[in-house]
A and B are shown apart, each in its own frame.
Chain A
């Protein structure tokens, strides 16, 4: 009995998820490409790119960031949440970006 392919339905949760269309596109780490070294936790507009509608941090397989910068993003997001710049939980607070 063939293994049911459960992978596909998980795509519907994430906004810009890995659809088959751009499956072939090589994902790259935007920080290595643009040479950003420090991620500012006080700048919500930039950090929102790494959050989904509920304000959760997007996984690396969706955003394609490298491990080193994913940790920096996660730390910056958590600091931003602590000082009230980013929400802990939100219902589509981001609008469409």
Chain B
């Protein structure tokens, strides 16, 4: 039974925009090859963090929502661990309330907003 997962990937700010795109596309390709279907991707761009991670105050945030077989997520996380440009990542499984919440947020019914954009 394929669960829906949501992964937040925090990338180092010491990269250009297209490098960020390229890394994210690399991970998307990895997921698709493993049999996952990407439901939604959300880029927050350069965002100010609440505290410094590895002496960096801002980072590129990307939220990936995907349906995947159960064993793919751990492989995906091994890839993320290996990549130095990834400061932090967090992947969770979405229950039905979470899935409907994300659906409603995409349709614009909810007014929740992401953290403040960093003035680069």
Residues of A bordering B, CB below 8 Å: 37-38, 40, 42-46, 79, 81-88, 90, 93
Dominant SS at the B interface?
strand
B88-A82 in contact (CB<8A): yes
B50-A46 in contact (CB<8A): no
A84 in contact with B114 given A37-B97, A38-B101 (CB within 8 Å): no
- B80 CB within 8 Å of chain A: no
Output the least CB separation between B108 and chain A (Å). Answer: 15
A83-B113 in contact (CB<8A): no
Size of B's binding interface in residues, CB under 8 A: 23
From the candidates B10, B63, B92, B101, name the one contacting A84 in the complex (CB within 8 A): B10
10 more contacts with CB within 8 A, not counting A42-B63, A90-B50, are: A38-B95, A38-B97, A40-B112, A43-B112, A43-B114, A44-B115, A79-B90, A83-B8, A84-B10, A87-B51
